[in-house]
């Protein structure tokens, strides 16, 4: 039987993993599995949550240090030719302070590309520092390989390690190819198991990229995260993303944010093991290294438990605060009861002056114009498009599941869990369901049972949604387009994209029955022949930088033309046969960007990109001239417009489904799906909308008298 050891990188390590060591690996996401031996009995105890892991004190060789020092920084944003000298100077300065290790809370690079990661790693190597990393949105937003590059370079995106009796939890708050924050279901479950193993006495320091407990909410399920941390001895929550030197509290616990390291800001935390205290100093250009906070390592006094019993906030003690649906905190003085702006699922949060504990009341409100028909819980959040086919609704989720429901009453027909998370939108036919996974495969499932019929390995994670013509399944991937045989998955043809860091597709492909249309991150829209894969034409869309692209909003085909948006404020129309650009127009307000269009008759409907106002525009399908514009009041991001009987619908980031009249843009109604970000595109059939979000919920809505 091997003796447990603590590795020099402070991670919990596994060696000789047998069938049972998987349990511990799932609990702690150990980064190096070859260097620790555990008995079968110990592993089973830990997997069952009945034993604590041995601490470093129990196995340390020699006396424990009196002070454990570590550095915390973030937002290094390394790019070739940018932020290199500044980060090098700061890393050298930190090395001079001799921390045992450092934590980088994300946005390690600017775009998550391999050359940027290599450059950053060279900076760290030259500094001699040991650095643990959390991913940031910039590490996964602009690169389909970003999550894989991060993990292969820095280890698991979320994990826990122990040093001198203190625990450090690194969270992954990112959503692939997105700006917004979310702690996905598998990670939440991992966190619950890990906290139980750590126990309620040990001091815990938590780090993640998107901030927690500040306005505006970035992690849509942040209160769920706060609840899980609530009963444990959390001493510090270190955040990033905001590029500001800030300090606040989350239910009485210290929370910090720094400017970017390239902006010459970082923190040093000294843990005095003898006195059982810790102290935080922040380095800024204005003040140098200055103490900003201190605390005890012992368990904190528990926050007062109380319940929010109704929406009548007038009964709360003086000085109490409340917020609605993750909005700004407001004083309760003079407020009797709350009023929600939309129908749907809502959260009322409140906190009292004598207890920082946040309590929540959940409720559902109704509307006469947009009514819920049924709702179903999902195993994960949804980024892809919801798909209707025949009498069924299909949806893929970020926990790696594909599910099939009956349209009429929402009965679940089948579900299938794949090898990785599903950003890809399913393509449903009478016989098959084709869907991509982050594990790098395109899957073919049996339409009736969900059984996997075949899977085809591709060069990178499959984010794009497939299309099909005459049993040829088209999928865009990293560096190439593929045409696969629908029955066998064999490659019929493969067409390379031009070399570069942005040669990939993530949106849903379109087809007119003769060709495939796909927008890519290289700022071009592609048209390929279905039989040979030959590129018929390749047109630029605002080719200024990698970010001005037609890659996010899915193209829409109508009457021999394809409509697409690009992130430089462009709405485009191309002739499919020739590739000729028929028009390019810009919005006069919030810009055209990520939200793909839909066309009904002689009108184009599209959402616009920008904070807060959530503009939806209707333009002429003939010349692109604006017909009407409506402000929904909520930020729109990736969700595409879709049309029903007399209405158009589009989702907003705060989880709101917007329904507008096609004729004049008048807002018919809004329905909130819950606390999750709504980046998904809904399926629409007649007067019904099938919508999903990161709230792990699929909802069927009925639009009354549009």
Give the domain CATH number at 156.
Answer: 3.60.21.10
Q: What's the pLDDT score for residue 62? A: 54
In a domain, 9, yes or no: yes
Shared-domain flag, residues 141 and 222: yes
Same domain, 18 and 103: no
Work out the angle at residue 604's Cα, subtended by the Cα atoms of residues 602 and 610, and round it to the nearest 5 degrees.
160
Check residue 356 and give its pLDDT: 87
Which DSSP category does 559 fall into? T
Global pTM reads 0.89
In a shared domain, residues 349 and 377:
no
How many angstroms separate the most distant Cα atoms in the chain? 79
Residue 470 belongs to a domain: no
Going by C-alpha positions, the residue among 208, 217, 316 that lies closest to residue 255 is 208
Question: What confidence tens digit (pLDDT) does each residue in 363-396 have?
Answer: 999 999 999 999 999 999 999 999 999 999 999 9
Question: Do 230 and 175 sit in the same domain of this protein?
Answer: yes
Q: Which of 14, 34, 63 is the last residue of a domain?
A: 63
- On whether both 112 and 48 belong to a single domain, the answer is no
**pLDDT of 42 strictly over 80:** no
Share of the chain above pLDDT 90, in %: 83
In a domain, 510, yes or no: no
As for how many domains the chain has, the answer is: 4
On whether both 178 and 137 belong to a single domain, the answer is: yes
Return the minimum-mean-pLDDT range out of 41-55, 279-293, 341-355, 450-464.
41-55
Neighbours of 515 (CB within 10 A): 23
- Grade residue 64 by pLDDT with cuts at 50, 70 and 90: low
Which residue has better confidence, 2 or 269? Answer: 269
In this predicted model, what pLDDT tens digit does every residue of 202-250 receive, in sequence order? Answer: 999 999 999 999 988 999 999 999 999 999 999 999 999 999 999 999 9
| Arithmetic mean of pLDDT over the chain | 90
**Do residues 563 and 628 both lie within one domain?**
yes
Spatial separation of the C-alpha atoms in residues 343 and 368, rounded to whole Å: 9
Residue 217 is assigned to a structural domain of this protein:
yes
**What is the model's pLDDT at position 63?**
62
Q: How far apart are CA 125 and CA 122, in angstroms?
A: 5
pLDDT for residue 426 is more than 60:
yes
What does the pLDDT read at residue 58? 35
Report if residue 519 sits inside a domain: no
Tokens (6 digits) for 58: 């129990």
In the DSSP assignment, the letter for residue 501 is: T
Domain end residue (candidates: 243, 265, 296): 296
Q: Return the pLDDT at 220.
A: 94
pLDDT: which is higher, 649 or 39? 649
The three-state secondary structure class of 695 is coil
pLDDT of residue 610: 87
Domain identity same for 57 and 203: no
In this structure, of 13-22, 111-120, 364-373, 491-500, the range with the lowest mean pLDDT score is 13-22
> In this predicted structure, what is the pLDDT of residue 17?
26
- Kindly tell me if the per-residue pLDDT of 6 is higher than 80: no
Q: Would residue 23 count as lying in a domain? A: yes
First to last CA, the chain: 71
**What percentage of residues in the chain have a pLDDT greater than 70?**
90
Choice between 398 and 53, residue whose per-residue pLDDT is larger: 398
677 pLDDT exceeds 60?
yes
d(CA 78, CA 392): 46
Query: What pLDDT was estimated at residue 602?
Result: 97
Strand order in the sheet with 472-476: 467-469, 472-476, 480-485, 491-496
pLDDT at 546: 65
For residues 619 and 657, membership in a common domain is answered with yes
Which segments within 567-625 are labelled E, that is strand? 570-575, 581-585, 598-600, 603-607, 615-620
Clarify whether residues 150 and 28 are in a common domain.
Answer: no
Q: What are the tens digits of pLDDT across the range 506-560?
A: 999 999 999 999 999 999 999 999 999 999 999 999 876 666 789 899 999 999 9
Looking at the fold, whether 98 and 199 belong to one and the same domain comes out as yes
Q: Cα–Cα distance between 520 and 535 in angstroms, integer?
A: 13
Structure tokens, 458: 């591709």
Q: How many residues does the chain have?
A: 706
Within a domain: 249? yes
Q: Which domain holds residue 358?
A: 313-365
pLDDT of residue 1: 29
Within this chain, do residues 325 and 289 fall inside the same structural domain, yes or no? no
For residues 467-475, give the mean pLDDT: 98
424 occurs within a structural domain: no
């Amino acid at each position: 039987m091997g003796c447990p050891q603590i590795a020099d990188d402070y991670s919990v390590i596994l060696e000789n993993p047998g069938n049972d060591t998987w349990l511990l690996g799932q609990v702690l996401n150990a980064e190096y599995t070859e260097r620790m031996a555990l008995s079968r009995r110990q592993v089973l105890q830990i997997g069952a949550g009945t034993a604590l892991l041995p601490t470093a004190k129990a196995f340390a060789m020699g006396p424990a240090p009196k002070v454990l020092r570590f550095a915390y920084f973030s937002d290094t944003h390394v790019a070739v030719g940018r932020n290199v000298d500044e980060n090098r100077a700061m890393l050298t300065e930190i090395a001079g302070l001799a921390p045992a290790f450092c934590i980088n809370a994300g946005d390690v690079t600017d775009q998550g590309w391999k050359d940027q990661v290599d450059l950053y790693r060279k900076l760290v190597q030259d500094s001699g520092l040991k650095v643990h990393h959390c991913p940031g949105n910039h590490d996964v937003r602009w690169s389909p390989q970003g999550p894989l590059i991060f993990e292969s370079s820095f280890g698991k995106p979320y994990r826990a390690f122990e040093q001198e009796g203190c625990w450090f939890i690194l969270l992954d708050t990112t959503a692939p190819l997105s700006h917004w924050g979310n702690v996905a279901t598998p990670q939440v479950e991992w966190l619950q198991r890990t906290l139980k193993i750590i126990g309620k006495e040990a001091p815990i320091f938590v780090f993640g990229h998107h901030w927690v407990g500040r306005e505006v909410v970035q992690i849509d399920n942040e209160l769920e995260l706060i609840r899980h941390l609530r009963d444990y001895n959390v001493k510090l929550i270190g955040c990033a993303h905001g590029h500001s030197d800030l300090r606040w509290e989350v239910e009485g616990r210290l929370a910090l944010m720094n400017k970017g390291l390239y902006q010459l800001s970082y923190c040093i935390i000294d843990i005095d093991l003898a006195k059982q205290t810790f102290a935080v100093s922040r380095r800024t250009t204005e003040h140098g290294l200055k103490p900003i906070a201190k605390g005890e390592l012992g368990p904190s006094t528990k926050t007062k438990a109380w319940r929010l019993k109704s929406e009548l906030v007038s009964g709360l003690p003086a000085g109490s605060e409340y917020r609605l649906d993750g909005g700004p905190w407001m004083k309760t003085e003079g407020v009797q009861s709350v009023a929600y702006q939309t129908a749907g699922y809502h959260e009322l949060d409140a906190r009292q002056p004598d207890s920082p504990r946040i309590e929540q009341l959940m409720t559902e409100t109704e509307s006469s114009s947009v009514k819920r028909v049924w709702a179903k819980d999902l195993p994960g959040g949804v980024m892809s498009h919801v798909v209707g086919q025949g009498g069924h609704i299909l949806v893929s989720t970020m926990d790696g599941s594909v599910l099939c429901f009956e349209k009429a009453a929402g009965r679940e027909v089948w579900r299938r869990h794949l090898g990785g998370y599903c950003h890809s939108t399913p393509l449903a036919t009478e016989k098959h369901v084709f869907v991509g996974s982050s594990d790098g495969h395109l899957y073919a499932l049996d339409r009736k049972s969900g059984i996997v019929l075949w899977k085809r390995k591709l060069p990178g994670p499959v984010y794009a949604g497939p299309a099909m013509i005459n049993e040829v399944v088209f999928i865009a991937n990293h560096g190439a387009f593929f045409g696969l045989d629908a029955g066998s998955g064999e490659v019929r043809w493969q067409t390379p994209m031009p070399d570069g860091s942005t040669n990939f597709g993530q949106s849903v492909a379109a087809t007119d029955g003769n060709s495939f249309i796909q927008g890519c991150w290289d700022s071009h829209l592609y048209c390929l022949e279905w039989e040979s894969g030959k590129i018929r034409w390749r047109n630029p869309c605002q080719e200024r930088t990698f970010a001005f692209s037609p890659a996010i909003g899915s193209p829409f085909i109508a009457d021999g033309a394809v409509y697409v948006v690009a992130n430089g404020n462009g709405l485009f129309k191309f002739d499919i046969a020739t590739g000729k650009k028929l028009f390019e127009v810009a919005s006069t307000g919030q810009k055209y960007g990520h939200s793909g269009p839909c066309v009904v008759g002689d009108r184009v409907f599209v959402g616009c990109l920008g904070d807060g106002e959530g503009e939806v525009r209707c333009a002429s399908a003939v010349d692109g001239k604006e017909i009407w514009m409506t402000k929904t009041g909520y930020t729109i991001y990736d969700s595409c417009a879709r049309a029903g009987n007399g209405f158009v619908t589009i989702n907003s980031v705060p989880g709101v489904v917007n329904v507008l009249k096609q004729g004049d843009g008048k807002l018919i109604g809004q329905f909130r799906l819950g606390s999750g970000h709504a980046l998904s595109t809904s399926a629409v059939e007649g007067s019904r909308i099938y919508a999903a979000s990161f709230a792990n919920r699929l909802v069927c809505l009925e639009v009354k008298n549009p």
